Chains A and B, each alone.
Chain A
């Protein structure tokens, strides 16, 4: 069974702190997705990766295929980073295949 687990479930940080959110999955992937869900409910894709590391602004995503583990890092966190961060595992052999989602990590960054 394909399972995706995130930790921590909730995270509170002070502005400027370095943040790490972890994701472990049980089944080999085609790609690992990180998404952000805004307080208003909208969901946007941050990263899709199948190896190594990707960086966009202050966000960095890494993946270790052998350990079935991915991390999302936020450098110099800001209150506007407050959101739910969701990890999802895509395991299909064809494009656009189905994702299994983690339960999300609620991040609150205080000024």
Chain B
């Protein structure tokens, strides 16, 4: 199992450019999440998905879009990059066990994004 993989590892964007951060998991998890981590701040949830075809906003969704066409993939789209989106982005996934309210989240290695 590769677990959760993210590409690219690092990217520099110019203001106004667009890009897609890729996230794939091979654990057949139905829950997937996108977080951003700014220096000195806690992780913030951008979007999450509870299964293919179902997505919902998190705490900081503005400027981002997501889709979930398959169980494995959960790409994050930035349409018009802004300097405020300079951050490290983490994708995570978790499974669902009947009767349990919380499950361990497995994180990808992160994508470092710099918007200039």
Chain A residues in contact with chain B, CB under 8 A?
4, 30-31, 33, 35, 41-45, 48, 50, 86, 88, 90, 92-104
B50 at the binding interface (Cβ < 8 Å)? yes
**Which A-chain residue is minimally distant from B50 (CB atoms)?**
A96
- Chain A min CB distance to B59 (Å): 8
CB-contact partner of A101 in B31, B42, B102, under 8 A: B42
Which one of A43, A97, A98 contacts B90 once the chains associate, using CB atoms below 8 Å? A43
Question: When the two chains form their complex, are residues A31 and B101 in contact, meaning their CB atoms are under 8 A apart?
Answer: yes
A45–B105 CB distance below 8 A: yes
Closest Cβ neighbor of A45 among chain B residues: B104
| Count of B interface residues, CB-CB < 8 Å | 30
Q: Which of B60-68, B75-83, B106-114 contacts A (4 or more CB under 8 A)?
A: B106-114
Task: Verify B94–A103 contact, CB threshold 8 A.
Answer: no
CB distance from A87 to the nearest CB of B (A): 9
A33 to B107, CA, bound (A): 13
For residue A33, which residues in chain B have a CB less than 8 angstroms away from its CB?
102, 104-105
The residue on A at minimum CB distance from B9 is: A41
The 8 nearest A-B residue pairs measured at CB? A96-B31, A31-B102, A101-B42, A30-B101, A43-B107, A95-B96, A101-B43, A90-B102
Chain B residues with CB under 8 A of A45: 104-107
Across the interface, do B31 and A95 meet the contact criterion of CB distance under 8 Å?
Answer: yes
CB closest residue in chain A, given B107: A43
Which partner residue on chain A sits nearest B104 by CB separation?
A: A45
Q: Which residues of A contact B50 (CB under 8 A)?
A: 96
Contact with A along B10-30 (1 / 0, CB 8 A): 000000000000000000001
